[in-house]
Structure 1
Amino acid sequence: MEKKDTLSSCSDSEIQQMQLIQDKTKESCMVSFQRLHSHLKRLSNNDLKGSRTEDGFKRAFTTLFCQDLETFTGTMFLNMDQLQKQLDNNEFQEIGSMASFKVLETQFQMFIKSKIYLNDEYIVMTRNYFLEYTRLDIPEFRDTLIQNMDYVKKSIEKRALHKMEYDSRVNERLMQTTEEKVDSSKALDASLVIIESNGTESQKQDTSSRSGNDAHVIIVVKSFTLIINPQNIF
């Protein structure tokens, strides 16, 4: 029993360590998400609302993303909210998290794959407005976007891996606990059998003793009967 207790203690310690790792991977996941979120907020600069720069950026944005700024960013923030809910959930689900990430990633595919970095006059104006509004040049914004999305994706995959390992260890611990309970139950049953067996022997001895006394009394009574029987007198 002492050996089993030691094993149980070690298993519990391992699970606690894995839980700490789970917490750290969640924290890392949220840090990656916040970096991506901060980067994408550059596409919605409230400080420049109604300015000439914003008007120029809206035209540049439509050229780059083939969609108007309000519609695109409105959908973008909704997708970001869905991804954040998935990542911030303690009951982490890899499928839901990755699905939400893919939706956001797909929204930017046209921009990521576009080759609109040529040096003709119109593109130069587009790049200038983009730089003035976001404080980043188009290639730099694109490369940082790809990098941050890659961080989020890898953090989701890493978190999913640790969760799978954690769930596996918890299941093993539950099975071990169940086996220990079964062993304890068997040991208890065996003890009860021994007690019951000893009790039965005692009862037999008591019965035998009482039977002997009863027989003796009967014999005494019979002897007495024989003495006073009238047939024997005559």
Structure 2
Amino acid sequence: MNATDFIKDSILKLNSESFRELERQLIGEYISFTFLDEDEININNLSEKLYDYFEKIVLKNTESFEIIIKNYINNWDEMVGKYIAKEHATKKNETPLPLPRSRRYYNFAMEIRRSRSITMRQLVDYSRIMMCLYTSVIDNNNSIISDFDYAVNFMPLERMIASMKAEKSNAIMFKKKLFFDIQDLYSSDTSTLIITMIMYYCIENSRIQGGY
């Protein structure tokens, strides 16, 4: 997947309502236009702006767009994976208990993560699973979750992003360090937040169109 295909299969397929909501989230804090007023921004020039944004990250960090997507996928796993209930322990000759629902869906997400080349369909599926799991984690005060709601009725995006920005690093030496360093606009951490917003509205757009 390259940046062009990603934008074509995500932003350019949004309906007007989903696009305007995405625009509202991005313009100002993450994306800005010098010569266009807000009412002049449309789906095409925002797509061009985002393409330029991803290209700058690629050039600055000498990495491919696929690596940016992999970083997005890995960041979500680091946030969510530690809260997923483990497989039930069973003694010898006992019938294994069913996997906790959260673990079944998480395992499927990990199969996607291990794919050599992520498709847009896989990225949407992965994002939906992880966002739904993350919603349940937050609603349960960052506790281990066995079950969760897979319906497309996420918490408001603002609350999800706020929670992500407040995440702390898992590394022992950086316990007080924020997980996402978003001081640099053209960084992997900031791009994860931007891709999260895009994927959120892709999923929401699919729900409105009857895809979920």
Q: Whose RCO is larger (CA < 8 A, sep 6+)?
A: 1
TM-score (normalizing by structure 1) = 0.22
TM-score (normalizing by structure 2) = 0.23
More helix by share: 1
Between structure 1 and structure 2, the one with the greater Rg is 1
